[in-house]
């Protein structure tokens, strides 16, 4: 591993376990539409795929279905109202970010979640003033895997990409980091679908638990 001075995290499925609240929102919409709810174990792996991914799982609809916009609006409304119902830092992650802070290593967040959902979640978890940057899916004109949010984060924290580690639980996270020569880490404890093959992401490292990050400090 190269020397590093900053660690940047994906949000859903990497830093914070948001799947329970996303599952609640999806099942609430399914109930309202007279559809059977889905078991949590089926929803969890697609929790990082946004509202469209969740609705595709629940209703079998894709981005060009006319029914999608109202269902998406309703799902996001329910989720926004229940955004910290059960969501919390992954086990061990508080120890990790505390250790980073004690070691004077900058840390921040880069997510594809839109700011109107990211900001209240980060605030409720009391991370707003701890994170050196919070880059949401609509902070820049493009979202991951495009390099724009990664470059923006580097500018905000005033660190070179080469001195940063980016940790994420999806192929787009690793691709985004590699696009600007960040060191990349695949979070295998996150929302990895059974059809995913993290070995194909070509991350520099992989971890099975957040506390594995501490071995680099």
Is position 3 annotated as part of the catalytic site?
no
In the chain, the domains with their CATH numbers are 6-17+87-216 (3.40.50.1000), 19-81 (1.10.150)
What are the tens digits of pLDDT across the range 67-111?
999 999 999 999 999 999 999 999 999 999 999 999 999 999 999
Residue that has been written with the tokens 């599952």 in this structure:
23
Where do runs of H (alpha helix) occur along the chain? 19-32, 40-43, 50-59, 68-81, 93-102, 115-124, 148-157, 171-179
- Annotated catalytic residue: which of 3, 12, 169, 212? 12
Handedness of CA 7, 93, 174, 217 (dihedral sign): positive
Residue that has been written with the tokens 């061990």 in this structure:
92
Taking alpha carbons only, the member of 97, 71, 82, 91 closest to residue 24 is 82
What are the tens digits of pLDDT across the range 47-72?
989 999 999 999 998 777 889 999 99
Torsion on CA atoms 183, 200, 191, 167, rounded to nearest 10: 0
Q: Is 102 helix (H, G, I), strand (E, B) or coil?
A: helix
Cβ atoms < 10 Å from Cβ of 96:
23
Is position 10 annotated as part of the catalytic site?
yes
- Annotated catalytic residue: which of 10, 17, 169, 173? 10
Q: Is 210 helix (H, G, I), strand (E, B) or coil?
A: helix
What are the tens digits of pLDDT across the range 127-178?
999 999 999 999 999 999 999 999 999 999 999 999 999 999 999 999 999 9
């Amino acid at each position: 591993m190269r020397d590093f001075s900053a660690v940047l995290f994906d949000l859903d499925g990497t830093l914070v376990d948001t799947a329970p609240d996303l599952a609640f929102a999806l099942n609430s919409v399914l109930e309202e539409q007279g559809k059977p709810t889905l078991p949590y174990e089926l929803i969890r792996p697609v929790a990082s795929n946004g509202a469209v991914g969740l609705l595709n799982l629940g209703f079998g609809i894709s981005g060009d279905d006319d029914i999608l916009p109202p269902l998406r609006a309703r799902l996001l409304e329910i989720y926004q109202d229940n955004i910290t119902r059960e969501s919390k830092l992954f086990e061990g992650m508080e120890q990790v970010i505390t250790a980073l802070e004690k070691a004077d290593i900058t840390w921040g967040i880069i997510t594809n979640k839109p700011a109107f959902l990211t900001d209240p979640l980060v605030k409720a978890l009391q991370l707003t003033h701890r994170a050196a940057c919070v880059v949401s899916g609509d902070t820049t004109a493009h979202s991951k895997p495009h390099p724009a949010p990664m470059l923006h984060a580097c500018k905000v924290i005033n660190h070179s990409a080469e001195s940063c580690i980016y940790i994420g639980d999806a192929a787009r996270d690793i691709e985004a980091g590699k696009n600007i020569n960040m060191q990349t880490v695949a979070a295998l404890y996150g929302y990895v679908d059974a059809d995913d093959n993290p070995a194909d992401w070509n991350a520099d490292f992989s971890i099975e638990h957040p506390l594995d990050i501490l071995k680099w400090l």
